[in-house]
Amino acid sequence: MANRIALATSILALLASLATPLSAQETTSYLVSWEPSVEPDIAHYIVYRSLSPTDLNPTPLDTVGSSTLFYVDSSVLKGTMYYYRIKARNASGVLSTFSNTCSGLTIPQDASAAMDNLCRITQKIKTGETAYDIVWATAVPSTGFVQYDRDLTLDSMSVWDNTSASSHTSPIGGLTIPNTYFMRAVAYDANDNMFISAIDTLVALDEPPQPHAAPHLSIYPVPYRPSVGALNLADLPAGGSIVILSGDGLEVWSARVGAETSMSWNGMNNQGSPVMSGVYFAVVRDASGTVVERRPIMIVR
């Protein structure tokens, strides 16, 4: 029987089980769905899971009937990447070859900086009386959305951002003010591998909206590859400053801005050592010390 199975949208949704303490050992659930086989006599689908994309003998999780095109895996450990594939079995017992592979990773609250940088919420900007822009970043270009709610069920979601990029802004609105909201970003890379950020919180208050600052920084090339040359920083505020921060908020490099509002950075930290690959942030302040720009930078070595 020819392999006619394909995962339609790979992992479609994350079904959360967040009543347990937020820790690296917390479990959650993934829902995997797939397209039906075009074979006329399919009897069952078999769902397989492994911890490696190259595993030739993944573990069969369960078997479902031919009319069922999804499976909920409720034994997922946060902080671990899981890979899923499907096989079909016809009425004669003949198995298809494996479908394509999809994967999912949910980042725990106590993740390392490297794991946290795979998908993280970076900023929350109030744009209206009950509306915010949620800014989130991923280590590789992605699409996705933000889930949010006043409890950890996270029943609401933003509009899906279909623009493939390493930084996204997802507007959310209709919030109850004042209140505390829980949220996370759900990202998919070009191969439909899913990355879900750790839970973040938003304290929504009855205060004036924060105006969007006009861009004060031109940065190129993006992503930045130090082996190719320097990173160009232009349109900086005269008399201000720029700081490059790591994903966990530690200062990597800084410089004062004089009358010349353009400079370059060679990818070295303040101690003269090359920085590692990952997502960094350029924070620009004007002469008064006010932050006027916070821009993610993807560094690839």
Q: What CATH number should be reported for the domain holding residue 260?
A: 2.60.40
Tell me which residue range forms the domain holding 118. Answer: 113-204
Structure confidence at residue 280 (pLDDT): 80
Structure confidence at residue 19 (pLDDT): 34
Q: Are residues 199 and 222 in the same domain?
A: no
Asked if residue 2 belongs to a domain, the reply is no
Structure confidence at residue 105 (pLDDT): 92
CATH number at residue 146: 2.60.40.10
Distance (Å, rounded) from C-alpha 29 to C-alpha 285? 42
pLDDT under 70 in the chain at which residues?
Answer: 1-25, 209-216, 247-248
- Report the 10 Å Cβ neighbour count for 91: 12
The tokens for 143 are 């699409």
Structure confidence at residue 248 (pLDDT): 64
Structure confidence at residue 10 (pLDDT): 31
Tell me the pTM.
0.63
Cβ burial of 255 (10 Å; 0-12, 13-18, 19+) is middle
Structure confidence at residue 5 (pLDDT): 37
Structure confidence at residue 216 (pLDDT): 59
